Amino acid sequence: MRQRDSPTRRDSHISYLRQQGRGGVLPAMVTMPPTACCCFVFLLPLLLVLVLGATTSCWSVAEARRNVITHIKGFDGRLPFHLETGLAAWFVGCTDVFRYVQVDQEHGVRLFYYFIESERKPAEDPLILWITGGPGCSALSGLLFEIGPLRLDVAGYTEGFPQLFYFEDAWTKVSNVIFLDAPVGTGFSYARDEAGYNVTLTGLGRRIHTFLHKWLAEHQEFVSNPLYIGGDSYSGYTIPVTALDIAASNGGGDHVSRINLKGYLVGNPGTDDRYEKGGKVPFMHGMGLISEEMYEAVQQGCGEDFYDMSGRSNPLCASALEAIDMATSDVNPVHILEPFCGKALRERVPGVSIFQARSMLVRDKVEHPEFFTRKNLGLPVECRDNGYRLSYIWADDPEVRESLGIHNGSIGSWSRCNNLTRFTTDLDSVIPHHVILTKAGYRALVYRTSLILLRGSGDHDLDMTFVGTQAWIRSLKYPIVNDWRPWHSNGQVAGFTRTYAYNLTYATVKGAGHTAPEYKPKECLDMLERWMSPAGQL
């Protein structure tokens, strides 16, 4: 039986409904003779309905509930886990209006989320806030392709509406997970006016902090759960910025507003351009993607510092780098051992260069709707992009959107990864954030894969390799507590790890691509569970 809200909580809901133009305002009470009081008492409910019905198309019973989804289009039967996508203001005579979490009242910035309770012990298990990279890649991408308990049936798809199936090796097996569409403009999050989309990296950290405060206020049962913030790729910037904003607030002495943050985890993270880009050529050389002569040409033309390669102002450097680009242009940038589907796409779209094809696949451009299904996409079956395209069909379906509680007219076509033209990066490096957080006692897990080679396709794309990550970690000069060693999953070596002072753990995931849980889900689940355990060792 659902408990009714307290008067204070109900008043807040009524206030919210009035702000949304949904709640009517009662006129002032008039004085009546005593003989009319008795009749008025019995007629009051009817009068309320008539008055409210005259001022608005529906009226609130001042009760809020969570939008718990038990059935969703594409999944056969009842979902075997608890899925929530917001709070619902319940109306009589009208449909539900579901609340996103508003993080900027002036511009009406509303962030959408999916919340899945732990399938083990939700009252005790950690709470993870997951932020997909990009910036601008949706939370649904993290849910369907990385760490969530749902997957699209790509192998069985021929045409029509895609089907979903339950996925065993999800992080929700051992943790409660909030999948957040952030920054605004990502996934289903939106703002009331254009100014709301203007946000810096620092401002994004504050908005996510605000989101957590408001979300926990509505989910008091999770306030005491240990909180971790996780994500991959560009979120390597977002997460330390957000964590430091929370840590600074926690240190302010206001125990009421404290968030039980314990640490954070970042996969293949963007951290510092100098280290990330500087590791690209040594990585290609070490993986045998370029010849010894190519490597020496870059060394001679560009110098030992490979960071400032994008400018190509030096003719010798530019020539050496162009030769490398041409030699590796058909290599899959997110997993060098898997097929690169950009070549097939380039053959299907006249006039598209290899770099434009890569951008279309990585950033999921939507200018070519004919490629939304595998039947028309024409890509090899093994291309992961087939699944990405099916997510468009699923997320744009009206019935799915109604179940999720998406605000009508808030966004047009959903995109797995948006180009956020109004998002700006105001920080070149978050290494100082890592130092402050780890030395303050917050735990950190940095995990990488050795088979990725990302090239920049936009202002916010990074060239990320394990070479660059190891370099910036070494720059911290933290003492090594437990040196380089293998860690295992399913009785096999799943990667290698090293533990540093100040609760910093570095790990590799053998054989995975850029989004490690997408490629090695069981291994990453084992990694997470062990790292979050009391022992904290892989």
Positions annotated as catalytic residues are 233, 461, 514
Q: Which two tokens stand for residue 450?
A: 């050795």
The residues near 102 (Cβ < 8 Å, ≥ 6 apart) are 108, 109, 110, 111, 214
Q: How many CB atoms lie within 10 A of CB 536?
A: 14
Contact 62, 74 (CB under 8 A): no
Comparing C-alpha atoms, which of 139, 355, 363, 117 is closest to residue 235? 139
Q: Which two tokens stand for residue 341?
A: 């589907």
C-alpha 62/C-alpha 48 separation (Å) is 13
Contact 306, 421 (CB under 8 A): no
495, 499, 505, 510: CA torsion to nearest 10: -10
Beta bridge partners of 121: none
User: What is residue 57's DSSP assignment?
Assistant: S
Burial class (CB in 10 A: 0-12, 13-18, 19+), 355: middle
C-alpha 302/C-alpha 321 separation (Å) is 9
C-alpha 163/C-alpha 160 separation (Å) is 9
Beta bridge partners of 272: 429
Q: Is 203 helix (H, G, I), strand (E, B) or coil?
A: helix
C-alpha 430/C-alpha 240 separation (Å) is 7
Contact 94, 23 (CB under 8 A): no
Cα separation values, 175 from 168, 466, 537, Å: 13, 27, 17
Buried b (16+ CB within 10 A) or exposed e, 439-454: eeebbbbbbbbbbbbb
C-alpha 132/C-alpha 186 separation (Å) is 10
Helices (H), 329-451: 342-348, 354-363, 374-377, 385-395, 398-404, 431-439
